């Protein structure tokens, strides 16, 4: 599996009244990590993407500390105009959450989804596991 790993720092303000990281902060962590992956080796997508869906399974509470969380990501379900980013969020060696984001490639000039380009497909394949890369559809 060709995972991309990125560290995200928690903020003191990410804690809730129960003294653990609030669930809403995870969306920001996932976004930071996803953008780091998209721009790691490439300039991103030609016209952009929009988020169609988020799923997060919280496996254990995370209490604020200054060390960053590690987010490991990979790509699955590459379709004509969409793909899924999968995540595992680690607090030290402990798996704290699993998540997925469905992204849709989008042309903002015409306000409609658009097909993935060959260059974008190639970038996504670089982060796909073997089954995901073979299952990618045009």
The tens digit of pLDDT for each residue in 63-89 reads 999 999 999 999 999 999 999 999 999
Judge whether 91 and 62 are in contact, CB under 8 Å.
yes
**Domain layout of the chain by residue ranges:** 4-134
| Burial call 97-114: b when 16+ CB within 10 Å, e when fewer | bebbbbbbbbeeeeeeeb
Is 4 within 8 Å of 74 (Cβ atoms)?
Answer: yes
Chain CA centroid to CA 132, Å: 15
Q: Does residue 133 surpass a pLDDT of 60?
A: no
Look at residue 130 and tell me whether its pLDDT is greater than 60. no
User: Looking at residues 36-62, what average pLDDT do you find?
Assistant: 83
How far is Cα 10 from Cα 130, in angstroms, rounded to an integer? 32
Distance (Å) of CA 41 to CA 71, 86, 87: 17, 19, 19
**Whole-model pTM?**
0.85
CATH class of 4-134: alpha beta
């Amino acid at each position: 599996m060709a995972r991309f790993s990125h560290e995200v720092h928690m903020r003191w303000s990410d804690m809730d009244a129960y003294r653990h990281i609030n669930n809403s902060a995870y969306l920001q962590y996932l976004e930071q990590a996803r953008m780091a992956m998209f721009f790691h080796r490439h300039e991103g997508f030609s016209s952009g993407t929009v988020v169609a869906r988020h799923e997060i399974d919280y496996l254990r509470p995370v209490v604020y500390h200054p060390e960053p969380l590690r987010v490991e990501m990979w790509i699955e379900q590459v379709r004509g105009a969409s793909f899924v980013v999968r995540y595992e969020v680690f607090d030290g060696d402990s798996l704290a959450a699993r998540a997925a984001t469905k992204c849709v490639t989008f042309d903002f000039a015409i306000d409609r989804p658009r097909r993935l380009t060959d260059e974008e497909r190639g970038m996504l394949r670089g982060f796909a596991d073997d089954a995901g890369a073979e299952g990618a559809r045009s």
